[in-house]
């Protein structure tokens, strides 16, 4: 399937391994006055989803928002590929927020899911710009550099427990 007229999906892109890479809606489609987001997915070498990007739309016009307003979900997995935690990266204006959205609790099997939201890091665009060695100042960060920089902040928060001691230079 490459499109779905009933759901107003204009294009579905697939990976070579048969996973959905992206979902693009028809321009101007709304459901009960709400413009649904386009989606993009990334997978690891084993075919496990590692991220989902929600390309949000302007709710007045239906046009895609700039990448500064998109939301990303990251899936942290163990060596077997089991989801251990889910993180949400939200960018609104000049503020980026990384929060743990879900934490799976295991014994010998899944015992439960803790959905208590935990804010891990909240940074301004200025801090993100400083973290990016290619940026001249916080206002010169392009969407591509901005995305790469936010990914770096995400990796720091997920893999280095002492992010408060990390110094950006």
With H, G, I as helix, E, B as strand and everything else as coil, classify residue 125: helix
Q: Answer whether residue 137 is part of any domain.
A: no
> For a pLDDT cut of 90, what percent of the chain falls above it?
25
What range defines the domain where residue 36 resides? 9-125
Q: What pLDDT, on the 0 to 100 scale, is given for residue 22?
A: 95
Q: Answer whether residue 113 is part of any domain.
A: yes
What is the value of pTM for the model shown? 0.66
Q: Answer whether residue 87 is part of any domain.
A: yes
Domain count along the chain: 1
pLDDT tens track for 61-104: 888 888 878 889 999 998 889 999 999 988 776 777 888 999 98
- Whether residue 13 contacts residue 22, with contact meaning beta carbons closer than 8 Å, is answered with yes
Element (H, E) at 157: helix 143-159
Would you tell me how many other CB atoms lie within 10 Å of the CB of residue 98?
Answer: 25
Q: Answer whether residue 86 is part of any domain.
A: yes
Q: Answer whether residue 23 is part of any domain.
A: yes
């Amino acid at each position: 399937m490459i499109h779905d007229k009933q759901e107003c999906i204009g294009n579905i892109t697939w990976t070579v391994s048969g996973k959905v890479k992206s979902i693009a809606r028809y321009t101007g489609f709304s459901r009960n006055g709400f413009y649904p987001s386009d989606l993009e997915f990334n997978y690891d070498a084993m075919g496990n989803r590692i991220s989902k990007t929600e390309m949000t739309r302007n709710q007045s016009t239906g046009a895609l928002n700039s990448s500064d307003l998109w939301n990303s979900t990251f899936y942290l997995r163990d060596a077997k590929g089991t989801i251990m935690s889910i993180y949400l990266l939200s960018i609104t204006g000049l503020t980026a927020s990384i929060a743990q959205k879900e934490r799976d609790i295991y014994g010998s099997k899944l015992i439960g899911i803790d959905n208590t939201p935990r804010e891990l890091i909240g940074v301004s665009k200025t801090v993100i710009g400083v973290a990016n060695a290619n940026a001249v100042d916080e206002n010169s960060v392009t969407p591509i550099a901005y995305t790469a920089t936010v990914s770096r902040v995400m990796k720091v928060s997920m893999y280095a427990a002492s992010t408060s001691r990390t110094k950006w230079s």
